[in-house]
Chains A and B, each alone.
Chain A
Amino acid sequence: EVQLVESGGGLVQPGRSLRLSCTASGFTFGDYAMSWVRQAPGKGLEWVGFIRSKAYGGTTQYAASVEGRFTISRDDSKSIAYLQVNSLKTEDTAVYYCTKEGYGSGSYSSDWGQGTLVTVSS
């Protein structure tokens, strides 16, 4: 059974940073792209970005709203994906979901974690 467990969320002041982690189990982590999707309170889903598997180059793609501030990385030896979020803004307040993609590059999100809440407020 695929399990994705996010951690690292919390209350943070504007301009500060956080690192979110997604610990995966139940599948061969290195074979799949991993993505992050966020959902502001009471709002719809917003794609944040993804990281390809090493077989697909291990490269990343980001939404314009987070490009340059957010960085996705992965540690295949630990089966963990990370989302480094810098220069946080109040509009970054959301539940951040880690997802497993359908294959090694960005695609549909076949499995989702429960999410971790990031609240940006002074």
Chain B
Amino acid sequence: DIVMTQSPDSLAESLGERATINCKSSQSVLYSFNNKNYLAWYQQKPGQPPKLLIYWASTRESGVPDRFSGSGSGTDFTLTISSLQAEDVAVYYCQQYYGTPFTFGPGTKVDIK
């Protein structure tokens, strides 16, 4: 199984500041056939289901604010919130869909300082 790790476990930044979440996979999730990274990011606010933010490691889902961006390749990935807003308070998960079982990271809790 591909193990996903995230860092930090939690973070708190001031409104308008940049927040960065890291995700690492135990093996590459880059499929050489199509040069795509099989990595997604989700946001889960309290009491709500998760919401897709980013897929293929860097493609923003329709309707997601452009302050959210994904980067990285192979085994190391980053979700960046360029200017943290109050409504961004949530837990963020990465997930690999390169191979089954599709595994999630443990989550990173984002709060406002």
Contact = CB atoms under 8 A, between A and B. Distances in A.
Interface stretch (A22-30, A69-77, A112-120): A112-120
A110 B97 contact: no
Contacts of B49: 97, 112-115
B68 interface: no
Chain A: number of interface residues, binned into ranges: 20 to 34
Contact of A47 (B44, B56, B102, B107): B102
Nearest to B61: A110
Interface in A38-93: 44-47, 50, 61-64
Interface residues of B, number: 23
B52 A44 contact: no
Contacts of B107: 44-45
Contacts of A46: 104
B32 interface: no
A104 interface: no
A37 B97 CA distance: 13
Contacts of A7: none
Interface of A: 35, 37, 44-47, 50, 61-64, 97, 102, 106-115
